[in-house]
Structures are given as structure tokens and as C-alpha cells.
Structure 1
């Protein structure tokens, strides 16, 4: 019988059950771990330490705080390199079942790790995301002041996507600690205690030849100087894909790293 293993509890760490549905981490599976570390170290000033998920996985640190995970992608896996957000859930098995019931895909897991259980999935439009049950990194929550990352879902229809994620991740329910959802400037906004955690925006096209136009979770990294950071990305082998100003008046630059992983630089 395959019994569920309860995640380890860690003093000082918050449990995913206390922040249900909130973005709780971002991770990149890279073709070459060393080259990715060199790129993001040069561009974003990250330093790296070994993670707890085994060999081939590292945690990016900025000013002594964990920012993101970068792991080595098995060469036998023919999948696109991409930044992936993870969402806190109370029960990985329940969330995985909900994804499948709503025509999403669970590609990997749920798998047990030392600090919890996780799975890699995709929504109905193909946007890839992860779910995590267990201990959370302290002070890592998108949308809060000095947050290490911020999320935007580029999707076919933001309202349809909000229903999918709401039913999978318990958004806007009576569950204690769940996230709220509102509507602002034609976008669905995910909030927790008044803080904007993520936005869901319509208009993506599943069959678009341009990867920028396809449904995906767009991970934004706030930086002090967008132009200087974009130049560093180019100098390190990255590609600048576009620039514009957000509805909130912030400058942002879309970047592809040397492996083809897309991310966005945004003014802090």
C-alpha cells in the first residue's frame, strides 16, 4: 500500500496550509546548472548554495535571503526550459485530483521531499505551474514589499483561468488563510491581506508562433535599474524581447536567458 508521508515540520517556517493558494516559490530547471548560475549571478547578483532536494539543485540567494531555485534538467527530458511558479496547497493529492478533473495536466508527482510534497502541472491552456504542500520559505510571498518575484498569468481568458485556479487552489473560499480575488482594469487580481500577489490577463494565444504570446506564467524579478540589468543580460548571452510600461506605471523588460527561459525585469 502506498501511504502518504507527512512533510517534516521545521521551526520558524510557515506551513502551506496557512497560506493556501498563494504563490510560494519560483524555480527553473536548466540545461546546464553551472551556466545558468553564472548567467543569473551576473545579471541579478544572485549567489548560490546547495538545496535540500539533492544533487543538481541550488537555491539562489540575494542579500542573504532565498530568492528562487535552479535545478539541472535531465538531458533525457525533451521539455522547454521555463521559470515555474509554485502555489501553496493544503493537500497535494487533493489539488492534483482537482487539476485532472478540470482538464488540466499533472506531469510529475506529487513527489515526497524532505520538506514537503510537490507536483508539476499545467492548466487547460498549457501554462505550467507547480503545487507545494509543506514548509514554506520564510518571508517569500510575491506582492509584498521587497518580494523576490511577482507573477502575471498570460492566458486565453482571465475569468476562465480564475475559475480553474480558484477551484484547484481554494481561492476566494471560506477556508482560513485563502487568497482573495478581485477585478481591476480588465485583469483578475489575486490578493492576500490587501497585497496584490499576482494578476491574470487575457489575450494569450495557444497556437501563437511567438512564445511571448502563448499562455504562460510570466515571472517578474524586481530590480533597482531595469536598463542596467537588461544590458547585463545581453552581455551575458541573454536576449531582450520587448520593453513597455505597465498600467501601474512601472518600466519592464522581457528577457530570454541563453537557454530560452523567459522572464521579465520590472522596476522595484
Structure 2
């Protein structure tokens, strides 16, 4: 005879929890799980950036060029100045004073060189002859070729477009031929969590228009009697907006469903206006749980990621917040972001739900006194941009090689922080 309790027993049927409860639970769990101790905090930008591996840590590839040059010290200076190379250790100097070995890192690769030793059959190219070529991949071949020529390279072929990309050819002062190139851009779809539009919010939009026009070379148009401005001539959608008490960068993030995202924002502790249908699509204005304003929208089908390495573009964002754990939980819930640890305490690197970097690349930094979003922009010449910042009433650190490029932290004439970089 069966047990009556067994006979009356109902099988366990899983149920779907309330979406708002699930969002709150996820936020709470992420705050607890991701709160891991880290090294001491440092600079917000360098703390969160997943910069290229340090020059001394680069692993050698299957093939590493090892070239002979007439003057190794001069060649090293040229490669550092023209190609952004980073020295790897100290050169090895032979008893007769010649440099027998030296290394630099260029991007993700290593270049080895030595002065020529004719007695050993090791010689530099003869004038007018270059038996081999090296191809150098860069984001901006025009700027690199111009810089190389300024530092003494001979221009063999001006930069131009071709089916294989954009590039030009120079012969360096040591006689080596360089094909400076950029592969054709491959269109990648805009993903959930990517920025489709960004606007610098400032108190005085007229002052911001003059300042950033001078520093970044932006062409700006808009209703000059109102608060809105639009940056023209860039693939990215960028703008300025005035009348704001607190300076920040408003990011409009791509999502699949604005209404569902609004519910997640509210469940995760933020606030959100009711969605509206605009000429560019359905959108909603939101504020995160630490006071940062943002917006969400559904991009048009076929929308692609813009180039974030071109001059004047927004290439990196740092979300600075008092509590990084809360921010990770909030943006993980709302935008589906994951996070990789940065290099110091409270520094994190955001990745999209697909595992790719966000566009533009985004870092998160905790421990800030006030919540804000700090942008980084690409410039042709960091020193010139720094001079323009100071001339325009802002402040700027001196340019420094950060490993991923030459950069400088600045504040504009209204006290808002931003960065400039040359990759």
C-alpha cells in the first residue's frame, strides 16, 4: 500500500520569477560576488584601460625582424618618434662601442636591431637599395607617414586608398623600407550596450563649442539660440548640450527593447522616463542608481559601429562612480555588460554580452567623489592639443607615453575632465 503522503505529492514545477525581483536579486548578487580586494587605486584612465601588454612582457612571434643599421642610437630614436616604438631594456654595447643588440616594441610586435658588422657579413642596406620591406599596421597611416618624413624618412609612395586598405611607403634613415598601412574597415553591427550617440553636457554650451572646436578641430552646428549643438564631419554621432549644472558625458546606449530596459533600470535602482518615439527611433531618458544620466534607444536595422580611432572621435569612456560594485551590478543588469578586472583597485573593463569590447571601449572606476563619465578623444598631435587646452582656459598634464599611445589628461574651461590621445 502506498503512503498517502506520496500519493498526494505534487511534482515540483519551476516557475518564472517576477522580472523586477530577478533584476534586484541579480544586482545584489553581483555586488557581493564582484567585490574582490584589489591593488591600490591609481589614475582612473590607466587603471581601467586594457592597454597593450608592456613592451618588456611581449612574447616573440614566429618571425621577428632583426635588422642591421648604420647608427643604432639614431635608428632607435627614429622608431620611437615616428612609429611610437617603446624601448625594451638597454642596448648591448660591444667593446668597440658599437651597439650589438637592441629591441623595441611596435604595437604587438618586437623589432630587433644591431649596428652593422661588415667583418661578419652583417650590413645595412646600401643607399637606394632595400632588399626587403616591413609592413606596419596603424590606425592612421597619414599621420604616421607624415611624422616619419618629418623625422628624416624618404617618401617613396604617398598615402592613398586601394582595395587592400589605405597606406603609403617610406624608407627610414637607415635604409629600411616600411609599408605603413591600415586594412579596409570591416563593418561590425552595433551591439547592445554600444554608444550610438554621446553628448558633452556643460553649463555654457557656447563656451564649450569654442573650446572643443579649437582643441579637437570639431565643426559644430545647431540652434545657437538654444542649448543643443551637433558635431559634423565625424562618423560618430556626437553633440554638446548646455544649461547643465553638473558636467558629464551623456551616452545613449543601444538596446533591443526600450520598454523592457526601462523596467530593468527601475528594478536595479535607477530612474527612467516613459519611452517616446522620436524620428531616430524609440528612446527613453534614464539615470543610474548613482546619479549618472544616460539614455537608451533601439538602433535602426543594419546599424554598424563607427570608427573610434579617427581624429576627433570618442575612443574611450571612463565611468567614474563612488561605488564600483553597485555600478557593475547596475550596468550588468541593464545593458548586459560583463567586467574584467583592471590593473588597480576599483578599476574594471566593460565587455558586451557577446564578450567583445564595448564601442567605444569603456572602463569603470570606483572611489570617485562624484559620479561622472569622462571621455577620451583622438587627436593628431597631443602636444598641440595640450597647448590649445591651456590657451583656451583649461588645464592639461604634459603628454606621456601610456603604452597604448601618447595621452594627456585635461580639464576644459568649465572644469570638466577629459583625455586626448594619439595612438
Same fold (TM over 0.5): yes
Contact 2:406–2:422 (8 Å) recurs in 1: yes
SS at structure 2 position matched to 1:80: coil
Q: How many angstroms does 1:225 deviate by? A: 1.9
Task: Answer yes or no: is 1:37 the counterpart of 2:209.
Answer: yes
Q: How many angstroms does 1:221 deviate by? A: 0.8
Task: Answer yes or no: is 1:188 the counterpart of 2:348.
Answer: yes
Alignment of 1:55-204 (within 5 A): 56-62=227-233, 65-73=235-243, 79-106=245-272, 110-135=275-300, 140-141=305-306, 144-146=308-310, 148-149=313-314, 150-171=316-337, 181-186=339-344, 187-191=347-351, 194-195=356-357, 197=359, 198-204=361-367
Give, in whole Å, the separation in 2 of the partners of 1:59 and 1:201: 27
From the CA coordinates, give the structure whose radius of gyration is larger: 2
Higher helix share: 2
Q: CA RMSD in A?
A: 3.5
Q: How many angstroms does 1:222 deviate by? A: 1.6
Give, in whole Å, the separation in 2 of the partners of 1:95 and 1:43: 36
Higher strand share: 1
Per-residue CA deviations over 1:181-209 (Å, capped at 9, x if unaligned) read: 4344354323357445434344323xx3x
Q: How many angstroms does 1:232 deviate by? A: 0.2
Contact 1:83–1:263 (8 Å) recurs in 2: no
The structure whose RCO (Cα within 8 Å, separation 6+) is larger is 1
Give, in whole Å, the separation in 2 of the partners of 1:119 and 1:188: 26
Per-residue CA deviations over 1:214-266 (Å, capped at 9, x if unaligned) read: 332211112122221021012122233x5686864444333332333332222
Task: Answer yes or no: is 1:256 the counterpart of 2:422.
Answer: no
Per-residue CA deviations over 1:114-153 (Å, capped at 9, x if unaligned) read: 11233333322333333223349965547x5438211122
Contact 2:192–2:335 (8 Å) recurs in 1: yes
Alpha carbons of structure 1 residues 203 and 247: separation in structure 2 relative to 1, 3 Å: farther
| Structure 2 residues without counterparts, runs of 5 or longer | 1-186
Q: How many angstroms does 1:67 deviate by? A: 4.9
Alpha carbons of structure 1 residues 103 and 219: separation in structure 2 relative to 1, 3 Å: same
Give, in whole Å, the separation in 2 of the partners of 1:170 and 1:203: 19
Give, in whole Å, the separation in 2 of the partners of 1:137 and 1:255: 36
Alpha carbons of structure 1 residues 189 and 30: separation in structure 2 relative to 1, 3 Å: closer
Give, in whole Å, the separation in 2 of the partners of 1:155 and 1:262: 14
Contact 2:248–2:374 (8 Å) recurs in 1: no
Give, in whole Å, the separation in 2 of the partners of 1:90 and 1:84: 19
2:420 counterpart (253, 261, 265): 265
**Runs ≥4 in structure 1, deviation > 4 angstroms?**
136-142, 192-196, 242-249
Give, in whole Å, the separation in 2 of the partners of 1:185 and 1:65: 31
Alpha carbons of structure 1 residues 36 and 146: separation in structure 2 relative to 1, 3 Å: same
Partner of 2:51: none
Alpha carbons of structure 1 residues 121 and 251: separation in structure 2 relative to 1, 3 Å: farther
Per-residue CA deviations over 1:151-182 (Å, capped at 9, x if unaligned) read: 1222344444222101101335xxxxxxxx43
| Structure 1 residues without counterparts, runs of 5 or longer | 1-13, 173-180, 209-213
TM-score normalised per structure 1: 0.69
Give, in whole Å, the separation in 2 of the partners of 1:111 and 1:29: 21
Give, in whole Å, the separation in 2 of the partners of 1:239 and 1:267: 18
Give, in whole Å, the separation in 2 of the partners of 1:257 and 1:263: 8
Q: How many residue pairs are counted as aligned between the two chains?
A: 228
Give, in whole Å, the separation in 2 of the partners of 1:137 and 1:244: 39
